[in-house]
Amino acid sequence: MSKFDSIRPYNNEEVSDILRELISNKDFIDIYFEANQSKFLQKLPFKHSLARLVLNNKIKKITNIHDYQTIFKNLVESMIDQTCNQINYEGIDNILSDNAYLFISNHRDITLDSTLLNYYLHQNNFKTTVNAVGNNLMNHKWASDLMRLNKSFIIQRDSVSQREIYKSLNLASEFICKSIFNDNQSVWIAQRQGRAKDGMDITDPSVLKMIHLFYRKELTINEFFNKLKIVPVAVSYEFDPNDQSKARERYLLSKGNEYKKTDNEDLQSIINGVRGFKGNISLKIGSPLEVAVNNYDDIASRIDGSIKKLYTDHSRNYAACELLGIDYEKKNFNDEEILKAKIELKKRMEPLIREAHNLLLDQYSNSVL
């Protein structure tokens, strides 16, 4: 038994049992059909039995985490082929394959941000990261199982008492430090809790405070983060498959309405992000930051500045500025490309009420501004 058993990724010995448990779960089978867009099969009265036969045959070939990640890699390549025009990767020369780092990225998609980073690392013979995920994504055990099979660990951000929250965050901090300092295992974490739904990539200093929590009495802020080796990462998607749902949520909140997620809302966002067309994608890895200050806010600003420099704007970002009547400095795109992007954006706005149109557009324009 380990103190980290409740949050850590699964190990090789647990893979077979977890997979057998997954394929016996009715809710998982339903999501499996939805993710694969099998509308015909969903109507069959024996669909669960059929799916279990198919999946049972597949999991026989999976006996460890490497096997699971190999299949996951194939799924990622299929997703890239079907939903992207091209992906531009840069920055692998900024890091060393035998070092462990704390990768901190902007957060636009629940799963793809870390997935695309790890695909890039894997393609260049680097070890993949362990990935921080909030327990808000873990309403269903099968969802937690899928992520923990893929080297994710859980940060418990809510609990019944402040004392329990502190214990949970301290445990996550200790796990991050153990991974990097003792296991030479890199860690990925988003710069903030929750996706940026307004296109503003801003690091939350409380994320840095949480990471430092376990070592706060032993190492000063700058000593600690220099030892961890922060590496900023910027990912940008030409098209965000969830831009409409983000705009709807922000509109309701702007009107003072309470916004409560449905049980499967995050899972639906994950499916939309994977299946939806993303156009061109850019992912850039920065150089490890040298931290000279002893202030979480200043470090957060340094990370923000690095991510902004790494971030790649697309024609849709400038088209959104034009539709909002905002002046901008045009880069890399001609009038025809901007016009095409404006037409595409107008189509994305059509299902939304008029008051939510600007809330969709600023998801793209804010990165330019």
- How far apart CA 356 and CA 368 sit, in angstroms, is 20
- The single-letter DSSP state of residue 112 is H
Domain match, 227 and 166 both: yes
Q: Give mean pLDDT, residues 186-191.
A: 98
- In this structure, is residue 3 part of a structural domain? no
Domain match, 93 and 76 both: yes
- In this structure, is residue 7 part of a structural domain? no
Query: Three-state DSSP class for 108?
Result: coil
Q: Give mean pLDDT, residues 270-294.
A: 95
- How far apart CA 222 and CA 236 sit, in angstroms, is 29
- pLDDT value, residue 46: 61
- In this structure, is residue 43 part of a structural domain? no
Q: Give mean pLDDT, residues 149-153.
A: 95
What is the domain range of residue 346? Answer: 240-266+313-369
Alpha carbon 310 to chain centroid, angstroms = 17
Residue with tokens 């940008």: 236
Q: Give mean pLDDT, residues 227-244.
A: 97
Domain match, 203 and 350 both: no
Whether 40 shows a pLDDT value over 80: the answer reads: no
- How far apart CA 110 and CA 254 sit, in angstroms, is 23
Residues shown for the chain: 369
- pLDDT value, residue 167: 93
- pLDDT value, residue 53: 79
Domain match, 163 and 255 both: no
- pLDDT value, residue 71: 86
- How far apart CA 235 and CA 314 sit, in angstroms, is 12
Domain match, 245 and 222 both: no
Domain match, 303 and 256 both: no
Whether 361 shows a pLDDT value over 80: the answer reads: yes
Q: Give mean pLDDT, residues 55-78.
A: 88
- The single-letter DSSP state of residue 101 is -
Contact yes or no for 15/69 (Cβ under 8 A): no
Whether 130 shows a pLDDT value over 60: the answer reads: yes
Task: Tell which of 307, 323, 356 closes a domain.
Answer: 307
- pLDDT value, residue 264: 78
Which neighbouring-strand residues pair with 283? 89, 235
Which neighbouring-strand residues pair with 134? 155
- Among 39-43, 103-107, 160-164, which stretch is predicted with the lowest mean pLDDT? 39-43
Q: Give mean pLDDT, residues 30-51.
A: 62
Top-ranked range on mean pLDDT: pick from 31-40, 68-77, 211-220, 256-265? 211-220
- pLDDT value, residue 24: 86
- Among 87-91, 92-96, 214-218, 270-274, which stretch is predicted with the lowest mean pLDDT? 270-274
Domain match, 127 and 262 both: no
DSSP E strand stretches across the chain: 84-90, 102-105, 130-134, 152-155, 187-190, 230-237, 279-285
How many domains does the chain divide into?
Answer: 2
- pLDDT value, residue 183: 98
Domain match, 141 and 283 both: yes
- In this structure, is residue 48 part of a structural domain? no
- pLDDT value, residue 33: 67
Query: Three-state DSSP class for 49?
Result: helix
Cα Rg for the chain, rounded, in angstroms? 21
- pLDDT value, residue 100: 98
Whether 193 shows a pLDDT value over 80: the answer reads: yes
Domain match, 250 and 320 both: yes
